[in-house]
Structure 1
Amino acid sequence: MTTADELVPPPGWSYRPLRELCASIQTGPARRTEDKGRTQADGGVPLVLPRDLRGRWIVTEEAAVVPALSWERARTLVKYELAEGDILLSRTGTVGRCALVTGEHAGWLFHPNLVRLRLPEAGQAGAAYLAAYMSATAAQDWIRSRAAGAVIPSLSIRALGELPVLLPPAAEQEAIGATLAALDAKVRAHTEIARVTQVYRRVLADALMNGVLPAEP
């Protein structure tokens, strides 16, 4: 198995195992039977699911279908609350999907099939850079190669902690993270435009086919 010590970084860069860069690597809390059935619309603390990690962003559905835990139950799970700058990673099924937590989902909880990476203040890696690195080809190939399980792939926290992370100097990390985050924002905007256009096309097609709207020659 390749370790950070065996890799040769570019001049001025270095490799560090992921565990050394994080204040904590934490899986989500186990769900109980009484946790099921409640949604964000019912009140309580909403839950990020693995399916919500899309294109390095957290994209949730409408409140009526977002699962939530009661306030009473959530008060016992404070250590699992998300904070801006955390990174979420799927650890089972489609292993390796990741997203950077923004203020929009701060205070939410997360599914047990997700791992939360929390960085220390003034740590060696910036959150935007690390999220970009975790989604890059080399890291994704490394993660998938270490996922165990013939039917449902699964990645252990111990294995994930060994991921070699290539660290440029802080200024370059910031520039790389900002550049890729800006591109991700453009991708998200275009994806939303495509989604809305698809909805518009479907509504328009129904209206035209039913004679509600005349077709202009």
Structure 2
Amino acid sequence: MTGTRGGTEASDTGLHLPEGWRCAPLRDLCASLRAGPASRVQDKGHTQADGGVPVVLPRDLGGQRITTAEPGLVPAVPRERARALEQHLLAEGDILITRTGNVGRLALVTGEHSGWLFHANLVRMRLPGAGPAQAPYLAAYLSSGTAQDWVRARTAGSVIPSVSIRTLGELPVPLPPQAEQRAIGATLAALDEKIRAHTEIARTTVQYRAVLADALLTGVVTAQP
């Protein structure tokens, strides 16, 4: 259930905060902000199907979730190499965000991708166990127009857009009480799930239409008047 209410202006951020809310920089909400490890030439060519530790790529982030290809197409790092990268392993509740290219795309890590590694062009945000921000709420805020505009305004103007971890850490985040964070996170996550479902239906329908058109236009299938 939603509604409107009065509040106060956070003078240091320009955000209008309801009573009982506060604002904090992103870095203060995270136990760590870490970029993915640099790739090595000798690791190239390995895939998840080979039994290595799979790697999340920037292209895999969309709709606040990670969506990867079939195992034979997912890059991976040999397990002996991955043992030296333990600090870069993902855990459920982490948040990934792109820091180069299409800056600002993000995903909330679920159990499905726990134990995976992540690309060097991604930043992993890990929250403390009992911190002031909840992961679903923070992911929802980071995907909002306000946060996305803030990040884009601070993206370095070069051929390939990029934003530094230090700059990301300065992002002001409004923090409602914990119960309200849970409600906001759950509400927006439910909508995101509906969007993903409808997107998949649309994708499947487009594929079906293409197959049916070929069949109809070659006489393999006859259209019934």
Match of 2:153 in 1: 145
* 1:100 CA displacement: 0.4
Please, which of 52, 60, 63 is the counterpart of residue 68 of structure 2? 60
> Any runs of at least 4 consecutive aligned residues in structure 1 with deviations exceeding 4 A, and if so which?
2-8
Q: Give the secondary structure class of the aligned counterpart of 1:84.
A: coil
Q: Distance in 1 between matches of 2:13 and 2:39?
A: 38
* 1:124 CA displacement: 0.2
Structure 2: runs of 5+ lacking an equivalent: 1-9
TM-score (norm 2): 0.92
Q: Distance in 1 between matches of 2:111 and 2:85?
A: 19
Q: Distance in 1 between matches of 2:88 and 2:28?
A: 20
* 1:7 CA displacement: 5.1
* 1:210 CA displacement: 2.1
- Identity value in percent: 67
Structure 1: runs of 5+ lacking an equivalent: none
Please, which of 27, 32, 55 is the counterpart of residue 35 of structure 2? 27
Match of 2:221 in 1: 213
Match of 2:182 in 1: 174
Query: In structure 2, do the counterparts of structure 1 residues 135 and 209 end up closer, same or farther at CA, with 3 Å as the change threshold?
Result: same
Q: Give the secondary structure class of the aligned counterpart of 2:17.
A: coil
Q: Give the secondary structure class of the aligned counterpart of 1:9.
A: strand
Comparing 124-133 with 151-160, greater Cα deviation is found at 151-160
Q: Distance in 2 between matches of 1:146 and 1:170?
A: 29
Within a 5 Å distance, the mapping from 1:4-153 to structure 2 comes to 9-153=17-161
TM-score (norm 1): 0.95
Q: How many residues align?
A: 216
Comparing 133-142 with 40-49, greater Cα deviation is found at 40-49
Calculate the aligned-residue CA RMSD, in Å: 1.5
Deviation track 1:134-191 (CA, whole Å, cap 9, x = no partner) reads 0001100111111113211111111111100000000100000000000000000111
Structure 1 residue identity aligned to 2:151: I
